[in-house]
Amino acid sequence: MMVNCNSDDPLPLERRPGDGASSVFFRSIFVLLIIVASFAIFFLFSPVSRAASSAESVDLQVCPLRADFLAFSEGQSPKVAFGRECNAQKIDILEEQLAFERGLREIVVGYPIEEMISSIARFDPTTAAFLIGIAKKESQWGKRRPSKDGIDCYNYWGIKGSGARGVGMGHACFATPEEAVERVGSRISELVHEHGRSTPSKMIVWKCGSSCAGHSPESVSKWISDVSRYYDEVLSIVDDVDSRVIALK
């Protein structure tokens, strides 16, 4: 007995569940969803997409820097903040900052001010140059400094006024090295950028105030000369940063 397979009805062959049009439609949707999900997973976990994501930080595996950079970005380990994207330009800037910090540390190594270098390096080069130069002149980079109750006031620049701990030996007494650098650095930055005192001879107001009439010409000249020595040395680091960055890579 022959079976007519050309019939519009698939019987007497057994119908399979899901042979209807609706089942085909749902299978197509399911396959499409799998494809879309695969692309989404690839995009989310690819280095390019992660670098361009809206996250506020980027994993070091995506934007690798040398491990010792973590010492520079305190409080950000194991991630380094790059804003909303990670690119070569930002990495170069961060490596330049690290090279600048290392240069400053080489100048003051072994002196109390060394623990402040990470904070000092965050200022622009001119301000940082004055922070180093003036501190050398006023306190031998922290070897001669005011204290209160036997505790260091972290005032290595001879600045007057008061700090978080009030006054110590007639000078501002700060609670932490970070407070000291922020207060003094902000004042120096104001003098440099708002009042045009961008050279040691113009910064003599730090020693004399509004007038040097009460100071001998020799002492004024010596202050400028001594500050200039390390001011110039710090600024020379900036010219050398490119070679330092290359050495880091």
Q: Predicted confidence band at 154 (pLDDT cuts at 50, 70, 90)? A: very high
Phi, psi of 171 (to 5 degrees): -125, 165
Whole-angstrom distance, CA of residue 185 vs CA of residue 126: 10
- Tell me the average pLDDT across 97-122: 94
Whole-angstrom distance, CA of residue 25 vs CA of residue 31: 10
Choice between 62 and 98, residue whose per-residue pLDDT is larger: 98
Specify the pLDDT at position 238: 84
Q: Predicted confidence band at 165 (pLDDT cuts at 50, 70, 90)? A: very high
Choice between 134 and 34, residue whose per-residue pLDDT is larger: 134
pTM of the predicted model over 0.75: no
Is residue 227 scored above 70 in pLDDT? yes
Q: Predicted confidence band at 91 (pLDDT cuts at 50, 70, 90)? A: low
Specify the pLDDT at position 39: 63
Within 10 Å of residue 175's Cβ, how many Cβ atoms? Answer: 14
Q: Which residues pair with 152 in a beta bridge?
A: 147
Per the structure block, which two tokens stand in for 70? 């973590």
Specify the pLDDT at position 89: 60
- Tell me the average pLDDT across 105-129: 96
Specify the pLDDT at position 219: 97
Nearest residue to 138 (alpha-carbon basis) of 188, 87, 101: 188
Specify the pLDDT at position 97: 83
- Tell me the average pLDDT across 8-27: 53
Specify the pLDDT at position 117: 97
- Tell me the average pLDDT across 143-171: 97
Q: Predicted confidence band at 239 (pLDDT cuts at 50, 70, 90)? A: confident
- Tell me the average pLDDT across 103-111: 96
Whole-angstrom distance, CA of residue 187 vs CA of residue 182: 8
Instruction: Find the angle CA(219)-CA(224)-CA(226) to the nearest 5 degrees.
Output: 90
The residue written with tokens 């007519």 in the block is 4
Specify the pLDDT at position 9: 47
Q: Which residues pair with 79 in a beta bridge?
A: 59
Question: Under DSSP, is residue 171 helix (H, G, I), strand (E, B) or coil?
Answer: strand
- Tell me the average pLDDT across 172-201: 97
First to last CA, the chain: 84
